[in-house]
Amino acid sequence: MIGSIGMRRMGASLGLAMAMGFVVPAMAAPDQVATWSGKMAPLATPWTAEVSPRNALPDYPRPQLARPSLAHPQWLNLNGLWQYAATDGKAAPPFGKTLAGKVLVPYPIESVLSGVQKHADFMFYRRLVTIPAGFTAHGQHVRLNFGAVDREATVYVNGKQVAHHVGGYTSFSADITPELRAHGPQEIVVAVHAPVDGANVMIGKQRLKPSGIFYTAASGIWQTAWLEPVPATSLAQLTFTPARSLDAFTVTARVHGDEHAAMLHVTAYADGKAVGEASGPANQPLHLAIAHPHLWSPHDPFLYTFKAALDAGGQSDHATSYAGLRSIAIAKVGGRNRIVLNGKPTFLLATLDQGYWPDGIYTAPTDAALKFDIQKTRDLGFNTIRKHIKVEPARWYYWADRIGLMVWQDMPALPTGSNDKLSAADKANFRAQVTAIVDQLKGETSIIGWIPFNEGWGQWSIPAAAELAAQIKQLDPSRLVDARSGANCCDMKGDPHAGDVYDVHDYQGPGLPSPDAQRAAIDGEHGGLTLGIPGHVWPNTPINPYGAVKDRAALNAGYVANTKVLLDKGVPKGMSGSVYTQITDVEGEHNGLYTYDRKVEKVDEAKVRAINQAVIRAGAQP
């Protein structure tokens, strides 16, 4: 979202809108919906009332490594009520002590669905768990997994530390077998430090004092926690990277335990029929050739499934995975640099998707809700999502992979205004977190490109964008890198002349950059037409327009006219994509195609889809 330049524009737009009578100072109050705890939701989604301690995100959280299969995973979901207490950061972990508060995991503590609805810099979670006897039978080990905890977590089992993890956007795991008691319940304690923007760390749009284009913080456990039984040597990650020839995958495995003696066998399936297999040492890449390749694209999001067996020490670990066969690159088309998907020119028409929810903040209330935004983006005729300054749970990418949306993946930003205050340690930590995120997500078919910086937020120099682009490209040469989105804005203007894409922001725009000698060109953000719908806005926050419209008819007309500029001028200039702000309202921003509560589609879906598809068709021409 636009920074200092855009804020001045928004101020002018707000004044004009108020003068024209398009924006009222107060909106009708939303319907009151009680959550499981009795707390009233500030703004309820269609799924708010469905959430309870009995069914908090019951879906298997790791679709790309399901053990033994996604249809029949063996796991113990730890989502639900945990004991909870805010603390001063000095207290000892509460081993053997009942905590007075309760929190519904995995909803961040600031959310109404958590039952806490209040920030704390330091906190303890505690839960007693009875582990099924089968989890430890036949020499199996037990692993404790967390999808994400914001931001620093120290985990204890029966009074012994088993994990310490820094980074609010990446998963982590620990073998807790040595600390398990022979009988009775096992005590899990998680100590969390969540400074939000009180430290120079990755926090995205989170703020302790949300306003304008920055939003409520999301602290603590905010993705699924679970237990699973595994052999002593087990698969930690499987990554399937499509060959440039689009007839094979390179298979790489990460292993828990002794990988040197482990052998990996993988079989690929298309519609239930085996179409390829490969075997070899688990610590080396495997070449998995595919018979009669079937490519993935938004038009045809075909996914191969894989069965993997890891053999070591007389034990076998069995898991299933999936991936699509596709390529993404920059190529000369008609003498200009264009983005090509599977070798064909493709216009990446995207919405900005920030992944915020009025009931769960960072955490979608249900899996159906998580899927909703992706499906509606597809229904509106877009083929791409820019996942803005946030990393999502694995199931979000699973739905993008299956529904067929390409994804620009942002890195969560450091706090704005921090560029000249960053220490060497702050920069090193940012680089390390970028590496961890790329490593975690590089198996996701839908992700076609990485964006390390947005509008210079947390970017300590112009060359820093080039340095991060090179770092990412070394980690993942199979995808595009947009070194910085919004080279013309805001905390640090300037083109690093690096990466695969030249990207500008223009509200309302759209921006119309031209490809240069090395890079394709996209509009990284534009639009933002603002319309608040009474009864469907976040309470007690200012309306924050990038350009107000008076009603839904005006919003429809404005969107179509804005997008037609891409058709009439952007495509002829050789542009390869654009990003419209945004798919839903978020807190004080009312510029979504949907309201923040996902109850009102503000636009005529058929009209939006028609102009979107026209742009995509035109952008596919050589």
Contact 465, 484 (CB under 8 A): yes
How does strand 220-221 pair with strand 152-157?
Answer: unpaired
Q: DSSP strand E in 432-498: where?
A: 447-451, 480-481
Dist. CA 242–CA 593, nearest whole Å:
34
Tell me the DSSP string of 230-290: E-SSEEEEEEEEEPTTSSEEEEEEEEES--TT-EEEEEEEETTEEEEEEEEETTS-EEEE-
| pLDDT at site 7 | 42
* Amino acid, res. 307: K
For 150, the enclosing helix (H) or strand (E) is: strand 149-150
List b or e across 55-68, with b for residues whose CB sees 16 or more CB atoms inside 10 angstroms: ebbebbbbbbbbbb
Q: Is the Cβ–Cβ distance between 71 and 107 less than 8 Å?
A: no
Letter for the amino acid at 413?
A
Distance CA 25, CA 19 (A): 12
Structure tokens at 190: 């998680």
Q: What is the pLDDT of residue 27?
A: 64
Q: Which helix (H) or strand (E) holds 565?
A: helix 552-565
Q: For residue 540, what pLDDT band results from cuts at 50, 70 and 90?
A: confident
Burial class (CB in 10 A: 0-12, 13-18, 19+), 92: exposed
Residue 241: count of CB within 10 angstroms of its CB: 18
- Contact status, residue 252 vs residue 285, Cβ threshold 8 Å: yes
Question: Any idea which residue has 């909803």 for tokens?
Answer: 107
Read off the pLDDT band of 23 (50, 70, 90).
very low
Mean pLDDT of 113-132: 98
Mean pLDDT of the chain: 94
Q: What is the pLDDT of residue 30?
A: 77
Q: Span 468-478, mean pLDDT? A: 98
The answer on pLDDT for 16 being more than 50 is no
| Angstrom distance (rounded) from CA 591 to CA 454 | 19
Average pLDDT over residues 263-267: 98
Tell me the pLDDT tens digit for each residue of 81-97. Answer: 999 999 999 999 999 99
CB 350 within 8 A of CB 382: yes
Distance CA 2, CA 7 (A): 7
Mean pLDDT of the 191-197 span? 97
Indicate if the pLDDT at residue 343 is higher than 50.
Answer: yes
- For residue range 411-446, list pLDDT tens digits in order: 999 999 999 999 999 999 999 999 999 999 999 999
Q: Record the pTM.
A: 0.95
CA within 13 Å, CB half, 621: 10
Place of tokens 């319907």: 31
Closest CA to 276 of 264, 297, 292: 292
- Residue pLDDT, tens place only, 139-179: 999 999 999 999 999 999 999 999 999 999 999 999 999 99
| 331, pLDDT greater than 80 | yes
DSSP string, 308-349: EEEEETTEEEEEEEEE----EEEEEETTEEEEEETTEE--EE
Q: What percent of the chain has pLDDT over 90?
A: 91
Task: Report the first-to-last Cα separation within the chain, whole angstroms.
Answer: 31
The mean pLDDT value for 578-591 works out to 96
> What CA–CA distance (Å, rounded) separates 219 from 206?
9
pLDDT at 260: 87
Q: For residue range 275-309, what is the model confidence (pLDDT) as tens digits? A: 999 999 999 999 999 999 999 999 999 999 999 99
CA distance to 52, 53, 116, 374, per residue, from 37 (Å): 8, 9, 9, 29
In 3-state terms, what secondary structure has residue 144? strand
Q: Produce one character per residue of 18-38: b if its CB has 16 or more CB atoms within 10 Å, e if not.
A: eeeebbeeebeebeebebbbe
Identify the structural domains of the chain with CATH numbers, from first to last: 4-25+328-619 (3.20.20.80), 79-223 (2.60.120.260), 234-242+245-323 (2.60.40.10)
Angle between helices 462-475 and 424-441 (to 10 degrees): 30
Give the pLDDT score at 11.
Answer: 39
